[in-house]
Structure 1
Amino acid sequence: MTDLDRTEGAEVLFRLLANLFVEMDVFASPSECHGLLCGLLVQGKVLSEAAWLRSVASYLEQVKIDNNNAKELLGELYKNTASQLQTPGFELALVLPDEEVELSQRVESLGLWCQGFLAGFGNRQLASLSEEARESLEDFAEIAQIARDDLDETEEDEQDLMQISEYVRMAAILIYSELMTDKDKPLKTTTNQPPPYLH
């Protein structure tokens, strides 16, 4: 799969999730939702699709995900993301708006992706990460605070956003690769309860 194919697929998922959240009357960002999933998956722990649905329901402050369309779409997001992380070759594509969306909204979405990632990852396994990976998490926290008004609609800002997005993508892959290779096997965890989140 080419970079273009992955990016287009992620952009389609963003639009579908955005429409789904409107239908569900949920105030949430598709990017934040994907960041949450990545934050859970990169830990190298066993996370079933059912556990993911319980986790995202908790994060979205829903009792449960019982809408068939929601189950299908969130399940597809889970399968695609898990597959991308497990495939050699840096396949992960961030679920972000396409380039037709205003720059300020894309900046906000990247910040929300980082916010979701940090919520999913929490404070667990920090000791298992390299200094570079821990610094990446600190950068995620800073990116999550970027204000929409801090950027203008300039070509330079467009390039900056592309570079930051790529940095975030590669940092997530780095964290995943470090935790997956720790002690040469993924860690096990119970999936009976959704994990706690940072707020």
Structure 2
Amino acid sequence: MTTEQESKLAWLLALAADNTPETVAETHAVVTGLLCARPGQEDRELATHLAALQVGDWTSERILDQLGPALGVLRNELSSADMDFRLLLPTEDRPLEERTRCLAHWCSGFLTGFGAASPTIRSEEASDALRMLEQIARAATDSESDQEAEEGAYIELVEFVRVAVLMLREESLAGTTRP
């Protein structure tokens, strides 16, 4: 794990209401959703949204004081031309069931954060992506199916979510520059 990832994980553990993998994934997603829906928002506005959503028991001032640099790291990942953004999910050495559950929580958190910022969705592609994220938020594994196929499907879903998030951010950016 890189130092930036360790830093991001540390602040998410601090911000999450508890440190279960599902809650950490969901917290990362709420923050990501807010940043994607309103990419140009100032840190103070973001911190106010997070406090209002009762992410952990942090005040907006505490979020700004202690987590500002980590928010900057996440902003940079989302805006990277190299598409550096990655979902914060358990590593592949964890059971598929746990990773799938965390992915579902991640999608649910993203939809919460994204929706709380009240973005304007203009394209059919963005609407489709949001509908798919809603479906993935209900994802579960099937213990009776081929585990190799399940693993492949999980990897494809994670990549779809990552690309959908970046596309929704771009749509939000385009919406802020339109008259």
User: What interval of TM-score do these two structures reach, taking the shorter chain for normalisation?
Assistant: 0.7 to 0.9
The answer as to whether partners of 1:13 and 1:95 remain within 8 angstroms in 2 is no
| Compared CA separation, residues 14 and 125, structure 1 to 2 (3 A) | closer
1:50 has 2:40 as partner: no
Name the structure 2 match of 1:105: 98
Large movers: runs of 4+ above 4 Å: 24-28, 65-68
CA shift at 1:161, angstroms?
Answer: 0.7
1:62 to 41, 47, 57: 57
CA shift at 1:140, angstroms?
Answer: 0.7
Name the structure 2 match of 1:172: 165
1:157 has 2:145 as partner: no
| Compared CA separation, residues 177 and 63, structure 1 to 2 (3 A) | closer
TM-score, with structure 2 as normaliser: 0.78
Name the structure 2 match of 1:81: 74
**Counterpart residue type for residue 41 of structure 2:** L
Structure 1 distance, partners of 2:119, 2:47, is 23
Q: Which runs of 5+ in 2 are unaligned?
A: none
The answer as to whether partners of 1:42 and 1:179 remain within 8 angstroms in 2 is yes
| Compared CA separation, residues 62 and 78, structure 1 to 2 (3 A) | same
TM-score, with structure 1 as normaliser: 0.71
CA shift at 1:110, angstroms?
Answer: 0.8
Percent of residue pairs bearing the same amino acid type: 23
| Compared CA separation, residues 9 and 63, structure 1 to 2 (3 A) | closer
CA shift at 1:48, angstroms?
Answer: 2.6
**Counterpart residue type for residue 171 of structure 1:** A
| Compared CA separation, residues 105 and 25, structure 1 to 2 (3 A) | closer
Name the structure 2 match of 1:125: 119
Figure out how many residues of one structure are paired with residues of the other and give that number. Answer: 175
For the aligned residue pairs, the C-alpha RMSD in angstroms reads 3.3
1:30 has 2:27 as partner: no
Structure 1 distance, partners of 2:49, 2:177, is 27
Give 3-state SS (helix, strand or coil) of 1:150's partner: coil
Structure 2 distance, partners of 1:183, 1:53, is 20
CA shift at 1:96, angstroms?
Answer: 1.0
Structure 1 distance, partners of 2:84, 2:9, is 20
CA shift at 1:107, angstroms?
Answer: 0.6
The answer as to whether partners of 1:37 and 1:117 remain within 8 angstroms in 2 is yes
**Counterpart residue type for residue 37 of structure 1:** V
CA shift at 1:146, angstroms?
Answer: 1.6
CA shift at 1:49, angstroms?
Answer: 2.6
**Counterpart residue type for residue 37 of structure 2:** Q
The answer as to whether partners of 1:14 and 1:30 remain within 8 angstroms in 2 is no
The structure in which a higher percent of residues are helix is 2
Name the structure 2 match of 1:20: 14
1:142 has 2:135 as partner: yes
